[in-house]
């Protein structure tokens, strides 16, 4: 077998107690006409107890491209994420052990995703059977009356769709989209496909991609399956704020109708006749769609199909209702599974070069507008200790005295960068000003969903005067904490349960973002009203709770001194040694190797294209 760098395809398969189906599934994979030297099969097992693991391990011994991975959590989304993270191939093909795949399945999937501008491709769901009851349930899967007529259930359909069973993706795209949401336990495909479409992606179905899915083979397991579908569909709807199709809402309406309208009809003739009419129409349509099935010859089989339709509708609708109560207080977010971007050394060096270009442009801009700034944090340490970037650092931060900071906010952005600060029109999610490069894209985890331009950025922190009175210092600190809360609109983490509860209460009792901004402005005004020239000390409030307690003598920042930084010179505070000792202690000592990592949760980086290119993707 070739090295992992040559792999094209990684097949990922969640399995749990699949003894009845696993052999046929693996054999269908072995019959694939795709070159086995360029593929791997990852079977992610939820610690099966029925002999499934032994069967898989026997195949692993015979074929080195088949591997077994453990899924201790047992649920499907976790299994799929384990598969993607361990995959070596460029493309991910999700498969299911309950399914038989035609020999050209993988080849057709790869051909379509390589030649078309699609983010997910697959085939329509063809349903098979191995016994009489499974055949009846299979017929229900083909019925538009049972499942609402989705395009993925039409075995002859070719074109764009809102979802597809299983799917084929580029691995990098799945990572960028944040993988499968592990909080959505039983509708993970729907959620991922919803997210793809929301972010401007396309899902394509073609009948050339062929497989046969084996449904449940008894009505009890069918009821449980569709109850879970209905329950978790509510989670998907709550997360995305709308259903993928209006037809998804029909079963819950039907169940509510069956519960309430017969009771109301006791008190109203009009409701009584309306209820009879709806019930008659439902029974009539169910009979039509059940008894016109020519593939079922037996009268009793068609009668069972009639009840199968009803079970699908009722179980799904009851699941919807249960889901409303179960997830009433639970929130679902699109951001939770985005993966931190791990930088290679060359990639980090390119990012540092872009940061250097940006700060050189910013330096020229400040000189032109008579503004002063100082390198701070890791940039300042880098200038003194390394005469450039700390080798593992990925950004640069600067201080500005409050007077220059306010002047900066009033100047228009340059041709090279945006000057961004939360105001009535834009929300950056930060308590400080961003100087953001116009020709690159850098997305941090906390920036997902924020619509302001997001490129490689310099964080600009204001420095404020600190009053001598201890009481006024405490009041200033309170205003600073409130400013951070209302300007970022995020409850502080890792600062104690009291801060968390207090923050959540304040943000929830003031739902208006406009009012939050006004409160933030008031707090910032109170926090920054002490002029530096009138007091002995300076504080950095906007860098967050970790640093706002630091107290600096104002002489540290009375002027700047230029220090070598890579191939240029950049300003640091005249009292840089005292500043760095107060903020970081023995800053000249290197940290342990385990801590020599970049600290920002960057999930996406493109140094060559503006964030306009990715406008709807984050």
Q: Is 150's pLDDT higher than 70?
A: no
Most confident among 420-424, 574-578, 614-618 (mean pLDDT)? 574-578
Question: Which of 287, 338, 367 has the alpha carbon at shortest distance from 447?
Answer: 338
Q: What is the pLDDT of residue 340?
A: 62
Question: Percentage of the chain surpassing pLDDT 70?
Answer: 93
Q: Is 382's pLDDT higher than 90?
A: yes
Longest dimension (CA), the chain: 95
- Give backbone dihedrals phi and psi of 208, rounded to 5 degrees, phi first: -70, -25
pLDDT band at 141 (very low <50, low <70, confident <90, very high): confident
If you write DSSP's letter for every residue of 46-90 in order, what string do you get? ---SSSHHHHHHHHHHH-TTEEEEE-TT--HHHHHHHHHHH--SS
pLDDT of 522-554, one tens digit each? 999 999 999 999 999 999 998 877 888 899 999
The encoded tokens of residue 225 equal: 């399956």
- Mean pLDDT value across the chain: 87
Give the pairing of strands 396-401 and 457-466: parallel
pLDDT of 312-334, one tens digit each? 999 999 998 888 888 876 766 65
Question: Percentage of the chain surpassing pLDDT 90?
Answer: 45
Question: Which of 150, 148, 124, 146 has the alpha carbon at shortest distance from 137?
Answer: 146
- Count of all residues that appear for the chain in the document: 618
Q: Is 289's pLDDT higher than 50?
A: yes
Q: What is the pLDDT of residue 518?
A: 94
Question: Which of 65, 63, 22 has the alpha carbon at shortest distance from 45?
Answer: 22
How many angstroms from the chain centroid is the CA of residue 165? 20
pLDDT of 10-41, one tens digit each? 999 999 988 888 998 899 899 999 999 999 99
Q: What is the pLDDT of residue 4?
A: 42
Q: Is 445's pLDDT higher than 80?
A: no
Q: Is 541 in a helix, a strand, or coil? A: coil
Q: Span 474-478, mean pLDDT?
A: 93
Q: Which domains does the chain have, with CATH numbers?
A: 1-101 (3.90.550.10), 104-339 (no CATH), 345-463+556-614 (no CATH)
Q: Span 1-9, mean pLDDT?
A: 57
Q: Is 504's pLDDT higher than 90?
A: no
Q: What is the pLDDT of residue 134?
A: 86
Q: What is the pLDDT of residue 125?
A: 85
CA neighbours closer than 13 Å in the CB half-sphere of residue 354: 28
* Full-model pTM: 0.55
CA separation for the pair 442, 436 (Å, rounded): 9
pLDDT band at 498 (very low <50, low <70, confident <90, very high): low
Most confident among 214-223, 461-470, 586-595 (mean pLDDT)? 461-470
User: Could you give the residue ranges of the DSSP H alpha helices within 269-384?
Assistant: 269-291, 299-326, 345-368, 377-381
- Convert 327-346 into a string of H (helix), E (strand) and C (coil): CCCCCCCCCCCCCCCCCCHH
CB contact burial 360-383 (16+ within 10 A = b; e otherwise): bbbbebbeeeebbbbbbbbbbbbb
Q: Span 90-114, mean pLDDT?
A: 91
């Amino acid at each position: 077998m070739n090295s992992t760098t040559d792999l094209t395809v990684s097949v990922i398969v969640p399995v749990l107690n699949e003894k009845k189906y696993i052999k046929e599934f693996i054999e269908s994979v072995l019959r694939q006409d795709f070159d086995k030297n360029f593929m791997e099969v990852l079977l992610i097992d939820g610690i099966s107890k029925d002999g499934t693991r032994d069967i898989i391990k026997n195949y692993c011994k015979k074929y080195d491209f088949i591997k077994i991975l453990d899924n201790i959590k047992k649920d499907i989304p976790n299994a799929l994420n384990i598969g993607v993270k361990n995959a070596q191939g460029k493309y991910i093909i999700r498969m299911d052990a309950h399914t038989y795949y035609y020999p050209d399945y993988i080849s057709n999937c790869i051909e379509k995703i390589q030649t078309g501008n699609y983010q997910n491709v697959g085939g329509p769901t063809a349903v098979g059977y191995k016994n009489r009851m499974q055949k009846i349930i299979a017929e229900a899967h083909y019925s538009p009356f049972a499942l609402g007529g989705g395009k993925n259930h039409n075995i002859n359909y070719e074109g764009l769709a809102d979802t597809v069973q299983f799917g084929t993706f580029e691995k990098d795209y799945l990572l960028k989209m944040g993988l499968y949401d592990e909080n959505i336990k039983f509708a993970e495909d729907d959620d991922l496909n919803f997210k793809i479409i929301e972010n401007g992606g396309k899902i394509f179905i073609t009948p050339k991609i062929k497989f046969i899915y084996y449904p449940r083979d008894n009505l009890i397991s069918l009821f449980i399956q569709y109850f879970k579908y209905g329950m978790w569909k509510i989670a998907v709807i709550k997360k995305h704020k709308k259903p993928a199709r209006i037809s998804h809402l029909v079963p819950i309406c039907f169940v509510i109708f069956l519960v309430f309208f017969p009771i109301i009809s006791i008190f109203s003739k009009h409701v009584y006749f309306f209820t009879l009419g709806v019930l008659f129409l439902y029974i009539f349509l169910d009979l039509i769609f059940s008894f016109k099935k020519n593939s079922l010859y037996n009268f009793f089989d068609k009668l069972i199909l009639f009840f199968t339709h009803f079970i699908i509708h009722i179980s799904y609708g009851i699941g919807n209702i249960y889901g409303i109560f179960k997830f009433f207080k639970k929130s679902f977010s699109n951001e939770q599974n985005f993966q931190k971007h791990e930088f290679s050394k060359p990639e980090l060096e390119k990012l540092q070069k872009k940061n250097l270009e940006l700060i050189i442009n910013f330096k020229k801009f400040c000189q032109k507008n008579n503004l002063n700034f100082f390198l701070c944090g890791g940039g300042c340490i880098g200038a003194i200790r390394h005469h450039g970037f700390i080798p593992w650092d990925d950004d640069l931060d600067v201080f500005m005295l409050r007077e220059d900071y306010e002047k900066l906010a009033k100047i228009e952005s340059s041709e090279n960068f945006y000057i961004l600060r939360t105001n009535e029109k834009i929300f950056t999610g930060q308590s400080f000003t961003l100087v953001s490069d116009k020709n690159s894209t850098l997305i941090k985890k906390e920036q997902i969903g924020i619509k302001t331009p997001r490129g490689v950025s310099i964080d600009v922190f204001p420095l404020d005067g600190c009053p001598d009175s201890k009481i006024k210092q405490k009041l200033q600190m309170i205003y600073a904490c409130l400013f951070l809360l209302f300007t970022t609109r995020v409850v502080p983490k890792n600062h104690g349960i009291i801060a968390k509860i207090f923050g959540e209460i304040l943000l929830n009792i003031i739902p208006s973002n406009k009012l939050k901004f006004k409160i933030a402005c008031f707090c910032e005004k109170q926090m920054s009203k002490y002029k530096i020239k009138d007091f002995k000390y300076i504080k950095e409030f906007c860098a967050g709770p970790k640093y706002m307690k630091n107290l600096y003598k104002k002489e540290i920042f009375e002027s700047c001194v230029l220090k070598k930084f890579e191939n240029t010179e950049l300003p640091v505070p005249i009292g840089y040694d005292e500043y760095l000792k107060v903020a970081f202690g023995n800053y000249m000592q290197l940290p342990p190797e385990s801590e020599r990592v970049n600290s920002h949760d960057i999930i996406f980086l493109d140094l060559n294209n503006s964030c306009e290119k990715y406008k709807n993707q984050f």
